[in-house]
Structure 1
Amino acid sequence: MPGLQPLYNMEVRPRHGEVVMIAGRSGTQKSGFALWWMAQMGLPTLYFSADMSPFTASARIASMFLGEPTESIEERMARGGRARQEALDAIESVPMTFAFGQLNWQSVDQELESYVELWDSYPQCVVFDNLMDFEGAEADYSVQMNVMSNATAFARETGATTVLLHHASDKSWDAKTAPYEPPSRNEVKGGLSEKPELSLSVALDPNSMEYKIACIKQRMGPSDPTARRYAVLRCQPELTRFHAR
């Protein structure tokens, strides 16, 4: 995938079937990065979102492929006709199924059963956006650990690359003094970045629109728990696009 070449240059290689964490502070385009990554791979994906609305998710995908901001997509939908159809075709071209609403393992099982019934196979990628939105996980460490354990079992059972989005502290010293740098491993809430096979730490500099991605845990390759070494992409949030510089 050419867009992630700077990450590959750091010997970071996401592998199929792994549990992958994307961690970052608030407002660092974690959902946008996950959407872009999954859409660029073009693999059958089941995306669980507790935050985005169906329209927001659809508009971001249409923006990504048409190169137009959300406002333009809204205008297309209102105009109807060919303009509307082009937006719908852009969305249809992405093999991504969304599940919205509160996250719990019962609803995950139900959505997975529906997916298999519809497509006669497991999805190749699954995204949970995000870990703290699982029922009871916002303030309960034991629930968060349970989510991680279940996510690992889920990945082993389905063979799907399983991506969990998670928060890093907004109150640490580094968050205050270096807010546009990727958070280190010890800033990821609950210490949960140590559990997946691959944990990425992300940050967005709103001045330069640089998107910085550090590998803070990698079971089968080099990593830097301090997040001082990172790859840099260029981010276009209004289009949900990321580019190698």
Structure 2
Amino acid sequence: MLNAGRALALNAEAGKELPRVGALGALYDMGVRPRHGEVIMIAGRSGTQKSGFALWWVASMALPTLYFSADMSAFTASSRLASMVTGDTTEEVEAGMARGGRDRERYLTALATLPITFSFGSPITWSQVDQEIEAWIELWDAYPGVVVFDNLMDFEGAESDYTEQMAVMQGVTAFARDTGATSIILHHASDKGWDAKTAPYDPPSRDQVKGGLSEKPELSLSVALDPNDLEYKIACIKQRMGPSDPTARRYARLRAEPQRTRFHPFHWRG
């Protein structure tokens, strides 16, 4: 239930473009416009840095974010964020935390600059989501600006059941409508198709996203990582209010830096 003030705030913010991130300029140039209050899917094959990209994106936007992580441990998520802020590698963060003292304090101070709160545990349940949202409202008297669900198949009962996965997507959509929070959900694409074998480092097309569920959000992004040169490709395979390419053959290029959970504008290397 929404009081009049919250309802007005939700309607005022809905539809506005999310804060732009400089490194994503090539994506914006393609006409991609992520917006407040939307359901956004990030889909990709295994090992394509979906979690790392989502974490970097929300940290770069600097909006109050609640991140439900069933795919990363608490240490992995926090070390990735500390690495992102300080520029140290995750291995350096781990070693510094083990040493303690000034190194430990430096990383903890770096994490305190980010408006991101985590909820860990697998599977993700709607009762867990309700509890975390209630706690957030009690603390801040507002909903989060962004909520990340990592990932769809880690919801209770949704590991392999299409009906449950569809129910999760319906739940996420209702959640976004009720709260006004931009809701980012991560999902898998097939590793077994012909394209996965012949072009494994290209973003999967819309029909390769498991369960066909990329058609449900307002915006669906398909991602891929080339482990050889760390080229990161992002295709827009569904966008309700703008251009998209369900074949994923048109994509933006970034340069990934996985050891620091950073992404950079793409420049050709000679």
Whether TM-score is above 0.5 comes out as: yes
For 1:243, the equivalent position in structure 2 comes to 264
Residue pairs, 1:44-123, within 5 angstroms: 44-101=64-121, 102-123=123-144
Aligned twin of 2:238: 217
- Give the Cα–Cα distance (whole angstroms) in 2 for the partners of residues 51 and 145 of structure 1: 20
Bigger drift between 20-29 and 103-112 goes to: 103-112
- Counting matched residue pairs gives 245
Aligned to 1:76, what secondary structure does the other structure show?
helix
How far apart, CA to CA, are the structure 2 residues paired with 1:219 and 1:63?
A: 35
Partner of 1:16: 36
Deviation at 1:116, TM superposition (A): 1.2
Counterpart-to-counterpart distance in 1, 2:176 and 2:225: 29
Following superposition, the deviation at residue 138 of structure 1 comes to 1.1
Using the alignment, how far apart are the partners of 1:169 and 1:176 within structure 2?
Answer: 10
Q: Partners in 1 of 2:69 and 2:197 — Cα distance?
A: 28
Structure 1 runs of 4+ off > 6 angstroms?
Answer: none
Query: Are residue 28 (structure 1) and residue 45 (structure 2) matched?
Result: no
**How far apart in 1 are the matches of 2:90 and 2:24?**
24
TM-score (norm 1): 0.99
What letter is aligned with 2:40? V
SS in 1 for 2:95: helix
1:209, 1:52 → 2: CA distance? 21
- The percentage of counterpart residues that share the same residue type is 72
Please list the CA deviations of residues 116-151 of structure 1 after superposition, one character each: whole Å capped at 9, or x if unmatched.
112221100000000000011111111111101110
Separation in 2, partners of 1:83, 1:107: 34
Q: Alpha carbon RMSD of aligned pairs, Å?
A: 0.7
Matched, 1:38 2:58: yes
In structure 1, how many angstroms separate the alpha carbons of the residues matched to 2:110 and 2:253? 27
Range 33-42 or range 118-127, more displaced: 118-127
Corresponding residue SS for 1:60: helix
SS in 1 for 2:185: strand
Amino acid across the alignment from 2:111 = I
* TM-score, structure 2 normalization: 0.90
Q: Which amino acid aligns with 1:201?
A: S
